[in-house]
Amino acid sequence: MQTHNLIDGAWVGASDGATLRVTNPARDEVIAEVASVGAAETRSAIDAAWRARESWAAKTAGERGGLLSALAGLMRRDTDRLAALMTAEQGKPLAEARGEIAYAASFLSWAAEEGKRLTGDIIPASAPDKRILVLRQPVGVTGIITPWNFPAAMITRKLGPALAAGCTVVIKPAELTPLSALAIGELACEAGIPDGVVNIVTGDAATIGDALFDDDRVRKLSFTGSTRVGQLLMSKASEHLLRLSLELGGHAPFLVFDDADVGKAVAAAVACKFRNAGQTCICANRFYVQDGVYDEFVAGFTEAVSKLTVGDGAHEGVDIGPLINDAAVEKVESHVEDARSHGATVPVGGDRVHPKGLANRFYAPTLVEGMTPDMKLASEETFGPVAPVARFTAEREAIELANASEYGLAAYYFTRDASRLMRVAEALEYGIVGANDGGPSTAQAPFGGVKHSGFGREGGKYAMDEYTEIKYVSWQL
Ligand code: ADP
C-alpha cells in the first residue's frame, strides 16, 4: 500500500515526517498513515508539473492516448486489489467499488481517444491576404481537488481529459480517502507516464489548496466537493483569475408520474438513492409521486428498501456500508428527527443499526412519508440512506417542487408519455436529467450542474474544453 506522495516521479514523505491517519469507517480502525505535506512540498509538485508541461504537450495525441490507455488497462488488471483498498478506506460495498474502478478506467479510455479529435479551425478571413487560424492548446499546470465519496472516479474524470489535452497535474485527494489516489499514482508510473506529469500530494486541505492558488504557474483548478468549499475556492480564484471547474452539491428530485412504469421507477429509485449509502452528489434526495400511483410506488419502494442488507462493505452481498464518519451519521439522524418533529412518518428504517463487531456508523435504509417543504430533508443535502416521499397532483406543481432548490445537478422523472417526457426534460433546471433512467453517469456524456451545483462539464468531448485554451492566430500572407 503506497503511503508516500508522488512528486516528479519519486515517492516522498513530508519533509517534517508528518502523517495523516486513514481510517476504515466500518471498523473504526486506522489502516494507514499517509504523508501529510505542506506548502513547500506542494510547490515542489507544481515545480515538477511546470517542468514537465512542455515535453508532455509536445507529445502527439496518440502518444498521450497510448499512455492513458495503458493506465486504464492497469486499473482493470488490478480491479480486485483497488476495489478492496477503496472499500477499506471509504466503506462502499465491494461490488460497488469494483464498479467504480471500471467506471474510473472508462474516463481514461475515453479521453485517450478523444484527445486525438482535439481539432482547431480555419475560418475564412475578410481580406484576401489574411488567414484565420484557431488553435486549441493545453491550459497548462492543473490542480485537481477531489472528494471522498468516489475516491477513484472523481480523479480519473479530471485526470483523463487534462492529460489528453496536454496538461500536467497536481492532484490533492480527500484526506479521508488518499489510498486509492496514491494507488492510481503507482499505476501511472507503471504505465510509463513521464515524471512530473502526474503529481499527488496529501495533507491539510487548506494549506495545499492555498499553495495551489498562490502559484501563478497553476492555470486551472478542477474541483469536486461541497458547495461551501466551492464558494471559498471561487473567491480565492478571483484574486488570480484562475480558471475553475466546480462540481458541487446536489439535491436531486425524483418525479413519478401517473403514466410511469412503476416497477421500473421503483427499481431506479432504489439504485439511485441507496448506492454508496446515499453519499452521492447526484443521488435522488426527494421523491414526488403523483396521486394515481402513489400507493403502488410507496408499497413497492417500501418492500424493496426493507430487503437491503447493511454491513461491512468488505463482505459480499452487503448493499449498504457505513457512512463515512460520525458527523455524517449525526446529520442523517438530525434530518430524520426534524422530519418526524414536523409530522412525517417512517415506514422503514429511521434509526442507526449496529452490525456485530462494527463501528457505530451504520444507518438503516429509510423511507420517510409526508415530506413537506419546511423539512430539512426537502432542501438540504442529506448524504445518507434516507428517501423522503411526498405526493403531487399536477405536472406543473411537480416541476415547481423539483426546481425549488438552490441546487441544479441531477433530476429524475418517470413517465411513458412522449410529450411529457420532452416537456419535463426542458423545464427541469438541472445539468443532468434522467428520463426513465436512474443511472445517467457515463464517460461519454457531459456531467455537471447549474445554480449552486457549480459550472463546467466533465465527461465526453465537453471535458476537453475545460482543459484547453483557444488561441486565435491572425496570419497576413
Ligand atoms: P465533502 O463534503 O465531500 O467532504 P469538501 O468540499 O469538504 O466536500 O471536500 C472536497 C475536497 O475539497 C477534499 O479534497 C477536501 O480536502 C478539499 N478541501 C476542503 N477545504 C479546502 C480548502 N479550504 N482548500 C482546498 N481544498 C479544500
Write out pLDDT tens, residues 125-142: 999 999 999 999 999 999
Is the Cβ atom of 205 under 6 angstroms away from ligand 1?
Answer: yes
Residue 219, amino acid: R
- Same domain for 427 and 294? yes
| pLDDT recorded at residue 146 | 98
- Same domain for 243 and 341? no
| pLDDT recorded at residue 336 | 98
| pLDDT recorded at residue 255 | 98
- Same domain for 260 and 176? no
Where helices occur in 177-324 by DSSP H, the ranges are: 178-191, 205-213, 227-240, 262-274, 291-306
- Same domain for 121 and 64? yes
Task: Assess if residue 25 is contained within a domain.
Answer: yes
Q: What DSSP letter does each residue of 13-47 carry, written as one string?
A: --TT--EEEEEETTTTEEEEEEE-B-HHHHHHHHH
Task: Assess if residue 309 is contained within a domain.
Answer: yes
- Same domain for 337 and 409? yes
User: 14 C-alpha to center of ligand 1: Å?
Assistant: 20
User: 354 C-alpha to center of ligand 1: Å?
Assistant: 29
Task: Assess if residue 471 is contained within a domain.
Answer: yes
User: 309 C-alpha to center of ligand 1: Å?
Assistant: 30
* Residue for grid cell 488561441: 471
Per the structure, the count of domains in the chain is: 2
Task: Assess if residue 9 is contained within a domain.
Answer: yes
Q: Which residues of the chain have pLDDT under 50?
A: none
**CA-CA distances (angstroms) from residue 431 to 231, 275, 403, 408, 423?**
19, 20, 12, 6, 16
- Same domain for 86 and 147? yes
Cα separation, 115 vs 60, in Å, equals 9
Instruction: Kindly report the CATH number assigned to the domain that includes residue 416.
Output: 3.40.309.10
3-state class of 140 per DSSP? Answer: coil
- Same domain for 379 and 472? no
Is the Cβ atom of 181 under 6 angstroms away from ligand 1?
Answer: no
- Same domain for 239 and 278? no
Task: Assess if residue 96 is contained within a domain.
Answer: yes
Is 247 designated active site?
yes
Cα separation, 246 vs 94, in Å, equals 29
Q: Determine the structural domain holding residue 85 and report its residue range.
A: 5-248+453-476
Cα separation, 16 vs 36, in Å, equals 9
Q: Which atom of ligand 1 is nearest to the CA of 212?
A: 25
Is 175 designated active site?
no
Task: Assess if residue 299 is contained within a domain.
Answer: yes
- Same domain for 258 and 119? no
Residue nearest to atom 4 of ligand 1 (CA): 147
- Same domain for 432 and 465? no
Task: Assess if residue 447 is contained within a domain.
Answer: no
Is the pTM here over 0.95, yes or no?
yes
Task: Assess if residue 420 is contained within a domain.
Answer: yes
Is the Cβ atom of 145 under 6 angstroms away from ligand 1?
Answer: yes
Asked whether 267 and 439 are in contact (CB, 8 A), the reply is no
Burial class (CB in 10 A: 0-12, 13-18, 19+), 302: middle
- Same domain for 147 and 259? no
- Same domain for 240 and 265? no
